[in-house]
Amino acid sequence: MSKREKGFLAGVYPYRRYVLFLVDVFLISLMFFVSAVVLQGSIYELPTEIWWWHWLLLVGCNSLFLMVFGCYDSLWRYAGSKEYLLQFLALICGNVLYALGNYLLIDESMECSLRMQLFIMLLTLVSMWVFRFVYRYGRQMIRLHSYNKRAKTKVAIIGAGDVGVALVDEIRRDPDCTYDVVCFLDDDPMKQRAHVRGIPVYGPISSMTEHLSETEVKEIIIAIPSLEEERKREILHLCSRTGSRVRIMPNIDQQLSDDTGNLMGHVREVEPSDLLGREMVDFTNKEIYEFLSEKVVMVTGGGGSIGSELCRQIAAQHPKRLIVVDIYENNAYDLQQELRQLYGDKLDLCVEIASVRDADKVQLLFRRYRPQIVFHAAAHKHVPLMEGCPEEAIKNNVFGTYNVAQAADAYGAEKFVLISTDKAVNPTNVMGASKRLCEMVVQSMQEISRTVFAAVRFGNVLGSNGSVIPLFKRQLANGGPLTVTDRRIIRYFMTIPEAAQLVMQAGAMAEGAQVFVLDMGEPVKILDLAENLVRLAGLTPYVDVDIIETGLRPGEKLYEELLMNSDTLTATRYNKIFIEQQESIPNEEMERNLMALRDVIATENVEEIVATMRRIVPTFKTPEEVNSQAVADHRIPAEEEQPITV
């Protein structure tokens, strides 16, 4: 609601209170005279000099308690049982006071009979309620008539509970909304075949295709904010068969602001994360707070997708100081302004523009701030780009990690946590191999350092810069086509908050030379994800929006792995986090390997650079080797029927 609208209502509302008060005074007076006529034949049965005293006393007593009980403080168009109960109690108290006044102030021969007092109260209560019901009904009819004239888009709402009903009320009130809600869908047998707000309730939800086939529904709104992720995915799958556009009401406790209460403003499009069918993992606990509270914490790559979320969550743990290091000043500046707005002077925030490739600057930052906890998120991560520039992946990822790890050791950091990737497992590309080298660097540091070094490995992060999800959303917004590299490709996904929480939890648990991995559920087929996004937008794949296959990119494999060797997997006290124990790497050997990389980079020979990485990372294979083995092991089908457009 705009300030102008609020100002207008603030002026109108007192005026309406006065009008309603005068109406009640009129009804009390009218019922007094009606009662006298009905019970006594005429008002004039009371002497003229006394009946107006009764009238004045009755109006005064009832008016007093109607105001004391706040009967004019509510908007009666939204009144519920509480408002009607308060009015009932006010009239009882008012008439009790009138009876006392009648007994104490008026001569016994002129008193109003108890029967007449009760009759007046009953008629007054009924008349007030009837007036309010008629007023509300009249408003609803006017609003419904206006709504029926403008409603054009046929809509079905899944969930006939409080949220679904409130959504209907708001749709009908909003003069700009053109939705025509034709039905509810609900699994509750008590609601099925009933009508809510005059709208039929069908069910169960699993039969929506049958029910909606007889309607002209163009859009479906899921109005069950408490849905579990698995059930949400099932309902979205059912919705995708209807050919209707699908939107979702998020969790109201998390999303609705007290300022607006605007339900439709929070109904959103289906996000790819809604299709994963996995409950979000939450690691927020006291252990993380104790790990970070009153500590000096440094985050390299702090302006990136994961780094910035990591900074947000660290800031909430009350660190002594938070140092954000990033080479890209725009992202760093945006994060700085966001955190300052949220925390003000409560957060000691320092933002440093620096590259982890600059060993001298890294040493300077550690000397200046003496961080106790280091989260290393700075890295190049785009697979195809790094295939063409392997030396940049090595300089930034490998030597950047080495520089920060060396500084953490030199200046006595308590813990160093490397953010790794599933692409480091049996890598088929330079980026993955460079991240595996990063893991090897921190493993080798454990041999010579008192700092605890650990790595955290997870899959694709939903919504991170450069990931497939923002690409799909942009392509869909532009009318397509959506592009997938191979129809058989599968990936693991997690959300940005999950990734940040996993990193912090791993840091709290780390005891040295460990690789932490998250149970990310079942992998997702990228083609299915693209097709469902199109369907849930109310469109038909390959008809309204094309999906084309572009071919695997350089270094890309059909599936990702999270573990090097499941035989070395160790469970932790958190059922979603596992530790992969790996053989230690001698620091001297690692130093020789890094020296070899420096020498080969100087040659500017791409083939030699990649060959050297293959020697240092024995698991570095070609995509063809890994993909053909995946087909041979039946992890990935050899071919698909009805191939999509290339």
Examine the domain organization and report whether 260 and 321 are in the same domain: no
When pLDDT is averaged across residues 561-583 and rounded to a whole number, the result is: 71
DSSP 382: -
The pLDDT value given to residue 517 = 84
Q: Mean pLDDT throughout 308-317?
A: 93
Q: Residue 550 — very low, low, confident or very high, per pLDDT cuts 50/70/90?
A: confident
Same domain for 16 and 165, yes or no, is no
Q: Mind listing the pLDDT tens digit for each residue in 594-614?
A: 999 999 999 989 999 999 999
Residue 644 placed within a domain: no
Domain assignment present for residue 480? The answer is no
Residue 525, in any domain of the structure:
no
509 and 383 within one domain:
yes
Please tell me the predicted confidence (pLDDT) of residue 80. 65
Q: Which residue has the higher pLDDT, 434 or 621?
A: 434
For 341, residues 6+ apart whose C-beta sits below 8 A from its C-beta are none
Which helix (H) or strand (E) element contains residue 157?
Answer: strand 153-158
Strand partners, 460: 493
The mean per-residue pLDDT over the stretch 364-382 comes to: 95
pLDDT tens digit sequence for 187-215: 999 898 889 888 899 989 989 888 888 88
Q: Which domain holds residue 249?
A: 151-270
Residues 67, 9 within the same domain = yes
- Domain-located, residue 402: yes
The structure tokens listed for 308 are 């910035």
Please provide the average confidence, as pLDDT, over all residues in the chain: 81
Phi and psi at 78, nearest 5°, equal -110, 15
Q: Are residues 124 and 181 in the same domain?
A: no
Burial of 130 (0-12, 13-18, 19+ CB in 10 A): exposed
Stretch 79-98: mean pLDDT, rounded?
Answer: 80
Please check whether residues 95 and 196 belong to one and the same domain.
no
**Residue at a domain's end among 98, 118, 142:** 142
pLDDT at 465 over 80: no
Does residue 195 sit in the same domain as residue 87?
Answer: no
Task: Provide the pLDDT for residue 331.
Answer: 92
Please report where in the chains the tokens 């005429």 appear, as a residue.
42
Residues ≥6 apart with Cβ < 8 Å to 516: 454, 455, 456, 457, 502, 506, 509, 510, 577, 578, 579, 580
Average pLDDT (111-120) is 76
Question: Which of 116, 142, 168 is where one domain is finished?
Answer: 142
- Could you give the CA distance from residue 213 to residue 193 in angstroms, rounded to a whole number? 17
pLDDT tier at 553, thresholds 50, 70, 90 = confident
Q: Of 142, 160, 184, which residue sits at a domain end?
A: 142
Q: What is the C-alpha separation between 381 and 393, in angstroms, rounded?
A: 8
Does residue 472 sit within a domain? no
Q: In 10 A of CB 322, how many CB atoms?
A: 25
The span from the CA of 252 to the CA of 275, in Å, is 20
Cα gap 237→637, rounded to integer Å:
23
29 & 65 share domain: yes
Is the pLDDT confidence value at 635 over 80?
no
Band of the pLDDT at 329, cuts 50, 70, 90?
A: very high
Residue 8 has pLDDT above 50, yes or no: no
Same domain, 395 and 305: yes
Structure tokens at 310: 């990591």
- What mean pLDDT do residues 417-428 have? 88
Look up residue 27 and give its two tokens: 């009804």
The answer to whether residues 470 and 627 touch, using CB atoms and an 8 Å cutoff, is no
Look at residue 45 in the predicted model and tell me its pLDDT.
Answer: 54
Average pLDDT over residues 245-258: 64
Number of domains in the chain: 3
* pLDDT reported for residue 158: 92
Would you say residue 11 has pLDDT above 50?
no
Query: Does the pLDDT value for residue 243 go beyond 60?
Result: yes
394 confidence band (pLDDT: 50, 70, 90): very high
| CA trace torsion 617, 618, 620, 621 (10° rounding) | 160
Percentage of the chain exceeding pLDDT 70: 81
State the Cα–Cα distance between residues 600 and 209, nearest whole angstrom.
62
pLDDT band per the 50, 70, 90 thresholds, residue 5: very low
**For position 172, which CATH number holds?**
3.40.50.720
Task: Dig out the tokens for 440 from the structure.
Answer: 């090897």
In SS3 terms, 400-433 reads as HHHHHHHHHHHCCCCEEEEECCHHHCCCCCHHHH
Burial 229-239 (b: 16+ CB within 10 A, else e): beebbebbebb
Dist CA 556 CA 337 (whole Å): 37
Confidence of residue 258 (pLDDT cuts 50, 70, 90): very low
Angle between helices 114-150 and 162-173 (to 10 degrees): 70
* Residues 513 and 622 occupy one common structural domain: yes
pLDDT score of 263: 74
Residue 10 confidence (pLDDT): 44
- Which pLDDT score is estimated for 379? 94
453 with 370, same domain: the answer is yes
Mean pLDDT of 616-633: 71
646 inside domain: no
**Highest-confidence segment of 308-317, 468-477, 582-591:** 308-317
Range 283-311 average pLDDT: 90
Greatest mean pLDDT among 367-371, 537-541, 579-583 lies in 367-371
DSSP for 447-477 reads TT-SSEEEEEE--EEET-TT-HHHHHHHHHH
The proportion of the chain whose per-residue pLDDT surpasses 90, expressed as a percent, equals 29
* Overall average pLDDT of the 63-84 stretch: 74
Strongest mean pLDDT among 150-164, 397-411, 449-463, 504-518? 397-411
**Burial grade of 112 (CB within 10 A; 0-12, 13-18, 19 or more):** buried
- 263 and 290 belong to one structural domain: no
Residue 540 to residue 531: CA distance in whole angstroms: 8
- Of 206-210, 226-230, 314-318, the one with minimum mean pLDDT is 226-230
Model confidence at 278, in pLDDT bands (50, 70, 90)?
low
Residue 644 has pLDDT above 50, yes or no: no
Q: Which of 618, 619, 597 is nearest to 609 (CA)?
A: 597
Cβ–Cβ under 8 Å, residues 157 and 239? no
Task: Determine, yes or no, domain membership for 481.
Answer: no
